[in-house]
Amino acid sequence: MTQVSNDLMSTRAPLDPALAEIDRRWKESGVPDLYAGGSGPVSRERAINIRAFLYPKPKLPQGTIEAIELPAPPGSGRPIPARIVRPVSGEPTGTLVYYHGGGWVVGDLDSHEAHAIRLANEAGVVVLNVDYRLAPEHPFPAAIDDAEAALVWAAANLARLGGADKPLAVGGDSAGGNLAAAVGLYARDRGIALAAQLLIYAATDLAGKPGPERMYLGDDAERKASDPRASPLRAATLRGLAPVIIGVGPYDFLYRDNLAYAKRLREEGVTLVMREFPTLNHGFFSYTAVSQDSLAAALQLCADLRALMTS
């Protein structure tokens, strides 16, 4: 077993001033929390506006981007929109199936296209960026059904993606990290080989959470939160999982979730690359155009993924 960690949390550093400024400007604007009101369409419009106002997308060189539709999982009634994002140059290191963040309620292929482009360029992967169904219109298990179906399609179509002889990985941020972790369990249990799981400030345990988790889980939320497909931390065992990369900062409301998941991974012998970024909060992979600390963290996680894909 390989354990990798850094020493960044030996002393508590202040929140990156650029990120503190985002918080200040948001509060000053009077714009409510993204999920206030419990409406999916309202939350999505609010998210688009706040991103444009506070943290625009970084301008990155990009390779080809191909829009496709993946086969619908049973009972969904619609194909899964996705985009194949290729590196701007170089031979691919493999394929990454990526699930965007947004509390299972907001986010889409456009909001997280820069994430996919950065991962493609820096880690050398061909990214399958997946537009899973969103809550509250499509509550659990719709998102994880789509996430699993996307992985199955990718595993069967590697030649069209990063190469039939190249490794496969999953990844995501926040809610997407939750889906990636749950898909990691699915892959292990069905014999789908993964080289890595990239979990960027992932939600790992939805029990007792009062926010968008309730919009995602719908009725009987606490019972559903005990399902490992919703809360990967609650799986009976994590043994046998593919190597995991975790990236999180101490100012993140999911920090303890990430530490708890890392603790179990270590205890159960899973290879872990644990990155704690001392000046960062939730969402830093989206803040790279305004925060140098966020950019450095994003580049580190891309390098970690490349290392696992090429080891």
- Rounded CA-CA distance 90/24 in Å is 41
Residue percentage of the chain with pLDDT more than 70: 96
Q: How confident is the model at residue 228 (pLDDT cuts 50, 70, 90)?
A: very high
Give tens-digit pLDDT for 22-54: 999 999 999 999 999 999 999 999 999 999 999
Q: What DSSP line would sit under 163-176, residue for residue?
A: -TTS-EEEEEETHH
Largest Cα separation within the chain, whole Å, is 52
Q: Decide if pLDDT at 10 tops 70.
A: no
- Rounded CA-CA distance 207/191 in Å is 28
- Rounded CA-CA distance 229/142 in Å is 11
Q: Given its phi and psi angles, is residue 309 left (phi above 0), alpha (psi -120 to 50 degrees) or beta?
A: alpha
- Rounded CA-CA distance 29/131 in Å is 30
Q: Span 56-68, mean pLDDT?
A: 97
- Rounded CA-CA distance 44/150 in Å is 23
- Rounded CA-CA distance 133/138 in Å is 6
The residue ranges of every structural domain in the chain are: 15-310
Q: Span 76-96, mean pLDDT?
A: 96
- Rounded CA-CA distance 119/106 in Å is 21
- Rounded CA-CA distance 172/128 in Å is 11
Q: How confident is the model at residue 11 (pLDDT cuts 50, 70, 90)?
A: low
Q: Decide if pLDDT at 4 tops 50.
A: no
Q: How confident is the model at residue 218 (pLDDT cuts 50, 70, 90)?
A: very high
Q: Decide if pLDDT at 18 tops 50.
A: yes
Q: Give the catalytic positions in this structure.
A: 174, 252, 282
Give tens-digit pLDDT for 145-199: 999 999 999 999 999 999 999 999 999 999 999 999 999 999 999 999 999 999 9
Q: Span 74-103, mean pLDDT?
A: 96
Superfamily of domain covering 15-310: Alpha/Beta hydrolase fold, catalytic domain (3.40.50.1820)
Q: Which two tokens stand for residue 81?
A: 């929109």
CA angle 74, 116, 121 (to 5 degrees): 140
| Bridge-based pairing state of the strands 65-70 and 196-200 | unpaired
Task: Supply the pTM of this predicted model.
Answer: 0.96
pLDDT of 12 = 80
| Torsion angle of the four alpha carbons 233, 236, 241, 244, in this order, in degrees rounded to the nearest 10 | 20
Q: Span 200-212, mean pLDDT?
A: 96
